[in-house]
Structure 1
Amino acid sequence: MQNSLKFHPSRREACLGLGAALAAAACAAPESLLANGPEPAPKGWSMGDPLPFPVQEIYPCLHDGAIHLAGGFIAEAGRITGPTAAHHVWRPDGRCWQPAPALPAARHHPHLISFAGRLFVIGGFESPSAEAIWQAQSTGWILDEASGNWQAAPELPARSAEAVLLVGGTGLMHFMGGRSPAGESNASWQDQTDQTHHFVLDATDGRWREAAPCPTARNSASGAVIDGRLHIVGGRSVAGGNTAVHEVYDPAEDRWRDAAPMPQAQGGLAAAELGGKLYAFGGEFFNDGGGVYPEAWVYDPATDSWAAIAPMPHPRHGLGAVTLDGAIHVIGGALKVGGNETSEIVEIYRG
């Protein structure tokens, strides 16, 4: 694993605590991670191959038939140590998670996406020193898979992280919401502010342009594409806390509309599409001492309604969700609020 630095943050303004990481598992039997509890996995859930190390604040993606995970906050000996540049790939070939070309720099919250047949990494935060852990980035990279080298991606119009990145419309990548520096300072968590950014990258000319701004300024939301429309759900704002807001963007009209809100306000969650429906998992809250949501939900666009599904076997936040072969892989994250108990767990939901 590659790190830009190692540090032991005491708090992330109530959003990042000390980690108490689970021991890294190298392709242990998936069921072994459930051995500590007397109850079997809830209906529809099973264990996947664990990650090579505990990690949270990640945005994995599906690319060329494989799940790609790069960057994030990692933990060692029970404590968050900083961001990583490590890049791993999981394919359904029985070989577990395999190392892939590391990022040019360690980042947490980097957004991964498969776009125009190539793997992109966009934005996120770098941590060049213990005094500058939250340095938002506008740059990104594209993987040249033939050489294994990363090339520069088109630069975002603003330094941004904690956004939602989706592909929707013909040859368009959408970067929505998130947090950017409020002024010239760009080092600490307090320097960043919630945004309604909506930047669109066109594959034909490789340039970003602006589209209809997000109606709600928020970070740590998630989303997916259903029938060509982009759904953004949950998340939070610094001023207002967690939100249940659900908004849908139509690329053909460059227009947003409201949809049924989530049954519960959840920030730091993950979401994915499966079978034409939107699934949402986990998240965290900070009131009443803080905690992590076990609840998981499914949204049916045909009825504009949500329903509960079986809760996550291991509630987590700062996690990722990727659909592959008719199942949703729910990846990494932390078992407790903030950085506490950063995990290597992968769970699979099949409905």
Structure 2
Amino acid sequence: MYFSRRNFLKLTGLAPLVIGGTSGKAETIWERPQLYFSRLPDLAIPIQEIYPTAFAGEIFVSGGLTPSSTPIFYDLSPSKRCYIFSPKILTWRKGPSLPEARHHLGMAANSNYLYGIGGFHGKKDDAWQAMATVYRLTRNGNEWDSAPQLPTPIAESIYTNISETIHVVGGKSPNNHSRNIDTKNHYVLIGNTDWETAAPATIRRNSAAGTVVNNRIYVIGGRQTSNGNTKARNLAYAEAYDPNLDQWEKIRPLPQALAGLTAAPLNGKIVVTGGEAFGPNGNWKTGTAFSTVWAYDPISDQWSKESPLSEARHGHGAVTIDNSLYIIGGAAKVGPQKTLASTIKLSWKY
């Protein structure tokens, strides 16, 4: 492959800055792009544990956990509401409500449908029942319809789209004793009609971040729950999936072990934001939420630390449209604490 200087700059993410030298000749120094943040209108309600996605040029947020007068998990309850954000006019509006409330509802879209996948449902003291149900919405649709069910109930997975196929990777599924355990299963919705299995991820995990760049799925960080002699722990492990080979490969790990984080593409890089870590013995009350922002370059397989978010958050959403990345909702403290309604836009600038 021929690499021109212009292509090299695009791949490396560097930009030349030409200044005048004392000899009269132009001198070139290298300037690294920086992420810039701007505050956008808030959601109508604070909401966390969401997996929003882009559909028909807009951002859709459905389900999640939101403060409630009849809570089922501390002061939160699952939502059936849907909100739509227009990047063109920078406003939120209500969309069609889900048939049933869900939290950790997975969302992904292709050119024809927006999907709401799996997630948790339940009543007070039993709020973590993983579901196999899948809903979908058409362009300009005003009602969600039933879609092909998942092969197994699942939640806290990675949800992506490659070439019109919807991928669901990892997450939590109930075992024979109805206890949610980590999985490395990989399901693919083919032709909007049938779920098939693909190569499983190399490790089991939940609450990871995932995105697609150049038709490869990247899965980053996450959490492994306690299982037998294994204690719950956050992960820095990262891997990428090639659909043409149906294979996974390990990539450079995230410099920080995080769960409840997000990953989204932005100008050829993967921007990872926020996350949380529980305290000793898995105690979320003594845990920490993070404002950290990392950027991964798939070409060089390197991570760089960027300017942090103005506020820590986990369980939030991250969606890229055009050359902007939108950070939505989440919580500023670990677990069901300090749920947010804020929306932030990120973009690279030189």
Please give the TM-score of this superposition, normalised by the length of structure 2.
0.83
Q: Please, which runs of 5 or more residues in structure 2 have no aligned partner?
A: 1-33, 227-231, 281-285
Q: Secondary structure at the match of 1:69?
A: strand
Q: Which stretch has the larger CA shift, 251-260 or 287-296?
A: 287-296
- Out of 129, 136, 139, the position equivalent to 2:130 is 136
Structure 2 Cα separation of the partners of residues 184 and 104 of structure 1: 28
Equivalent residue letter for 2:85: W
Q: Deviations over 1:237-271 (max 9, x none)?
A: 11341100110000000000000000101100011
Percent sequence identity over aligned pairs: 36
Counterpart position of 2:154: 160
For the aligned residue pairs, the C-alpha RMSD in angstroms reads: 1.7
Q: Deviations over 1:25-44 (max 9, x none)?
A: xxxxxxxxxxxxxxxxx961
Are 2:41 and 2:90, in contact at CA under 8 Å, matched by a contact in 1?
Answer: no
Structure 1 Cα separation of the partners of residues 339 and 257 of structure 2: 22
Are 2:119 and 2:131, in contact at CA under 8 Å, matched by a contact in 1?
Answer: yes
Structure 2 Cα separation of the partners of residues 118 and 45 of structure 1: 31
Counterpart position of 1:175: 168
Q: Which runs of 4+ in 1 moved over 6 A?
A: none
Equivalent residue letter for 2:258: Q
- Say whether residues 1:199 and 2:187 are aligned partners: yes
Structure 2 Cα separation of the partners of residues 80 and 115 of structure 1: 35
- Say whether residues 1:270 and 2:249 are aligned partners: no
* Shift, 1:76, TM fit: 4.5
- Out of 180, 188, 205, the position equivalent to 1:218 is 205
For CA contacts below 8 A with separation 6 or more, give which structure has more relative contact order: 1
Equivalent residue letter for 2:55: H
Q: How many residues align?
A: 302
- Say whether residues 1:117 and 2:109 are aligned partners: no
Equivalent residue letter for 2:127: I
Q: Deviations over 1:127-161 (max 9, x none)?
A: 2x213211110011111445512111111000000
Are 2:76 and 2:336, in contact at CA under 8 Å, matched by a contact in 1?
Answer: no
Equivalent residue letter for 2:288: G
- Say whether residues 1:334 and 2:331 are aligned partners: yes
Q: Which stretch has the larger CA shift, 43-52 or 206-215?
A: 43-52
Structure 1 Cα separation of the partners of residues 322 and 169 of structure 2: 27
Quick one: structure 1 residues 179 and 94, their matched pair in 2 at CA, closer, same or farther if it must change by over 3 Å?
A: same
Look at both structures and tell me which one has the larger radius of gyration over its CA atoms: 2
Q: Which stretch has the larger CA shift, 234-243 or 137-146?
A: 137-146
Q: Secondary structure at the match of 2:333?
A: coil
* Shift, 1:92, TM fit: 2.4
Structure 2 Cα separation of the partners of residues 223 and 321 of structure 1: 10
Equivalent residue letter for 2:216: R
Q: Secondary structure at the match of 2:271?
A: strand
Counterpart position of 2:301: 304
- Say whether residues 1:237 and 2:234 are aligned partners: no
Structure 2 Cα separation of the partners of residues 76 and 105 of structure 1: 16
* Shift, 1:95, TM fit: 5.8
* Shift, 1:117, TM fit: 2.1
Are 1:73 and 1:80, in contact at CA under 8 Å, matched by a contact in 2?
Answer: no
Counterpart position of 2:50: 58
Equivalent residue letter for 1:137: M
* Shift, 1:276, TM fit: 1.2
Structure 2 Cα separation of the partners of residues 209 and 51 of structure 1: 36
Equivalent residue letter for 2:190: D
Q: Deviations over 1:71-109 (max 9, x none)?
A: 000014896330010001000243621001000000000
User: Could you say which structure has the higher strand fraction?
Assistant: 2
Counterpart position of 1:320: 317
Q: Secondary structure at the match of 1:249?
A: strand
Q: Please, which runs of 5 or more residues in structure 1 have no aligned partner?
A: 1-41, 186-190
Q: Deviations over 1:286-327 (max 9, x none)?
A: 126211011110000110000001101111000010012311
Counterpart position of 1:102: 97
* Shift, 1:216, TM fit: 1.0
Q: Which stretch has the larger CA shift, 63-72 or 285-294?
A: 285-294
The 5 A counterparts of 1:69-84 are: 69-76=61-68, 80-84=75-79
Structure 2 Cα separation of the partners of residues 133 and 253 of structure 1: 38
Equivalent residue letter for 2:155: A
Are 1:248 and 1:258, in contact at CA under 8 Å, matched by a contact in 2?
Answer: yes
* Shift, 1:53, TM fit: 0.6
Structure 2 Cα separation of the partners of residues 270 and 346 of structure 1: 14
Quick one: structure 1 residues 211 and 43, their matched pair in 2 at CA, closer, same or farther if it must change by over 3 Å?
A: closer
* Shift, 1:350, TM fit: 0.9
Are 2:56 and 2:139, in contact at CA under 8 Å, matched by a contact in 1?
Answer: no
